[in-house]
Chain A
Amino acid sequence: MISNLQKKLMNKEFVVTAECGPPRGANKRVIAEKIKLLNGHVAAVNVTDNQTAIVRMSSIAASAHLVAAGLEPVMQMVVRDRNRIAIQSDIMGAYSLGIRNILCLSGDHQKFGSQPDARNVFDIDSTNLIRTVRDMRETGCDMSGYTLDEAPAMFIGAAANPFADPFEYRVLRLAKKIEAGADFIQTQCIYNMDRFKEWIKRANDQGLTDKVYILGGVTPLRSAGMARYMKKRVAGMDIPDKVIARMEQVPKDKAALEGVQICLETIEELKGLKGVAGIHLMAIEWEEIVGTIVEQAGLKSTGLKRTEG
């Protein structure tokens, strides 16, 4: 069974992935609700792994719930909480449960979370996580070189943040992740379109977009307060003042509408950019808006091809 996301990307469709944060508890009905809101609108759904270092239902378990409901997950995995032994074991387990996509991440530092006293792991870094998953798929072996009885063959994703510093290094870092084995990239939320365009231009110039599928990250803002909070508090987030001003200029009850409008404009620009294979729509705790945005962005009918050169 091949990943549906992979199939669509290979077919040059302009894809949409969404995000689903597992609950802070064992309540699987929360997952079922989110599945209901997302199913049918997107190619796959990222299931976050204790994001912002707050303890939640595991991404593997939540991803398995998605598989059971017929919605394809992209299981996120961070190297913050597992050493290489647990990582490889969890990937095998995830694959056995029908999970076919993985997003390899470092993970937010536990300082940001609800349990900052925790010890972190960081046995291997995110680049080496990518390489480990790739090697399992390509060689059929684990990190020790032992031949596995059915190696997990994951479609491998990685993150890129075009907005972090130093900017000059960001494309080089992307190249390093591709070299390690990334098949697709999901970027940090795009609000600074100028900087994103410069980044994707450099990636195009270096031929990187021929080697990897890049999905541009977008997050609809719900209020001016959320925009200010994200700019200040979320690591690696770049929200230009003019975007915040736009959110502030509308009445509070119209702010969400304005946020969706900004998001739609961003998607429209991304659709026209060479090297952008789709979008990663992260509607944080706002899954009900995903269907609307997908429809209004003209991405409802499958088969929209991505822009090429």
Chain B
Amino acid sequence: MITGSQKPIQEIADLVAPYDRVLILGCGTCVKTCFAGGEDEVAVLASALRLYFKRTHKELAIDELTIERQCENEFIQEAAAKAGQNDAILSLACGAGVQALAKRFAKSPVLPGVNTTFIGIQASPGVFTEECSGCGNCGLAVFGGICPLTRCAKKLLNGPCGGSQQGKCEIDENTDCAWHLIIDRLTLLGQMDNLNVYIPPKNWATSLSGGPRKLIREDHII
């Protein structure tokens, strides 16, 4: 999933303060799963903002809605009526959702209420970890299913640096050394030969370094 975390209330209050009527729009997919922008978070944030503006004696009408996905026009359509009734939309989706709304609702300012963080998983209840950088050219097969590009702080492709100790990364004792995990896993799988494989310089052209990417499926173009 795409993970994110809600911005601090003060920052959100500053973003919406110039407007009189604001729609808080939640997204029922990724950000709901990571507790940043689903229906529940919309309700809690709306209450917090009402309280905040009551204390500061500012009139601000807050509307609430959550749609299934803010990155698909089919669902965005459901927010059209409320978008028209408000001065601005505070989106609790990821950055893709915010931009999809901005494309669809040309006249509405769309404000981000969430800091989009990464592509990851919920490793344990309440703990989300980054797993994928979306580099456009997956090499997980050789690394035992653990991505050093994402999970090694130095993006090393040919083995660990000299800083890992007792399985932990030099930058943070709470961060696992990706290469330690890779070595353990390849050992378990009996694929230690993979450790001798020379990995050439990464072709970053398929990543964001090659410029904003587009995925085209000819068979689905109407």
**Which residues of A lie under 8 Å from residue B174 when comparing CB positions?**
none
- Nearest 4 Cβ contacts at the A-B interface: A161-B162, A235-B163, A235-B170, A127-B158
**Which residues of B lie under 8 Å from residue A79 when comparing CB positions?**
154
Contact B160 A173 (CB under 8 A): yes
Tell me whether B65 is interfacial, beta carbon within 8 Å: no
Contact A164 B162 (CB under 8 A): yes
Tell me whether B28 is interfacial, beta carbon within 8 Å: no
* Contact pattern, B 143-186, Cβ under 8 Å of A = 1, otherwise 0: 00000000001111111111111110011100001011001100
Min C-beta distance of B170 to chain A, whole Å: 4
Contact A236 B198 (CB under 8 A): no
Residue of B165, B195, B198 near A180 (CB, 8 A) is: B198
Tell me whether A309 is interfacial, beta carbon within 8 Å: no
Answer whether A176 and B162 are a contact pair too, CB < 8 Å, given A80-B154, A126-B156, A236-B170.
no
* One of B73-81, B100-108, B113-121, B200-208 contacting the partner: B200-208
Tell me whether A159 is interfacial, beta carbon within 8 Å: yes
Interface residues in chain B, defined as those with a beta carbon under 8 Å from any beta carbon in chain A: 153-167, 170-172, 177, 179-180, 183-184, 195-196, 198, 200-202, 204
Contact A164 B164 (CB under 8 A): yes
Contact A165 B164 (CB under 8 A): yes
Tell me whether A179 is interfacial, beta carbon within 8 Å: yes
Contact A166 B183 (CB under 8 A): yes
Which A residues between 204 and 252 are near B, CB-CB below 8 angstroms? 235-236
Which A residues between 75 and 92 are near B, CB-CB below 8 angstroms? 79-80, 84
**Which residues of A lie under 8 Å from residue B160 when comparing CB positions?**
164, 166, 169, 173
Q: Which B residue sits closest to A80, measured CB to CB?
A: B154
**Which residues of B lie under 8 Å from residue A123 when comparing CB positions?**
201-202, 204
Q: Which B residue sits closest to A175, measured CB to CB?
A: B196
Answer whether A109 and B170 are a contact pair too, CB < 8 Å, given A165-B164, A169-B160, A236-B162.
yes
Tell me whether A30 is interfacial, beta carbon within 8 Å: no
User: CA of A84 to CA of B204 in the docked complex: distance in angstroms?
Assistant: 11
User: CA of A111 to CA of B180 in the docked complex: distance in angstroms?
Assistant: 20
**Which residues of A lie under 8 Å from residue B156 when comparing CB positions?**
106, 122, 125-127
Which of A123, A164, A173, A188 lies at the interface centre, i.e. has the most chain B CB atoms within 10 A of its CB?
A: A164
* Contact pattern, A 99-134, Cβ under 8 Å of B = 1, otherwise 0: 000000011110110000000101111111000100
Answer whether A164 and B165 are a contact pair too, CB < 8 Å, given A127-B159, A176-B198, A179-B198.
yes
Contact A169 B159 (CB under 8 A): yes
Contact B159 A176 (CB under 8 A): yes
User: CA of A79 to CA of B156 in the docked complex: distance in angstroms?
Assistant: 10
Q: Which A residue sits closest to B149, measured CB to CB?
A: A122
Tell me whether A172 is interfacial, beta carbon within 8 Å: yes
Contact B157 A165 (CB under 8 A): no
* Contact pattern, A 270-298, Cβ under 8 Å of B = 1, otherwise 0: 00000000000000000000000000000
Answer whether A165 and B162 are a contact pair too, CB < 8 Å, given A109-B154, A128-B201.
no
Min C-beta distance of B162 to chain A, whole Å: 3
Contact A106 B161 (CB under 8 A): yes
Contact B183 A169 (CB under 8 A): yes
**Which residues of A lie under 8 Å from residue B171 when comparing CB positions?**
109, 111-112
Tell me whether A26 is interfacial, beta carbon within 8 Å: no
Contact A164 B163 (CB under 8 A): yes
Contact B162 A84 (CB under 8 A): no
Q: Which A residue sits closest to B177, measured CB to CB?
A: A165
Contact B201 A143 (CB under 8 A): yes
Tell me whether A267 is interfacial, beta carbon within 8 Å: no
Contact B170 A169 (CB under 8 A): no
User: CA of A160 to CA of B160 in the docked complex: distance in angstroms?
Assistant: 11
**Which residues of A lie under 8 Å from residue B202 when comparing CB positions?**
123-124
Contact B165 A165 (CB under 8 A): yes
Min C-beta distance of B183 to chain A, whole Å: 5
User: CA of A179 to CA of B161 in the docked complex: distance in angstroms?
Assistant: 17
**Which residues of B lie under 8 Å from residue A161 when comparing CB positions?**
162-163
Contact B154 A122 (CB under 8 A): yes
11 pairs across A/B with beta carbons < 8 Å?
A106-B156, A108-B163, A109-B153, A122-B154, A127-B157, A128-B158, A128-B200, A143-B201, A165-B165, A165-B167, A235-B170
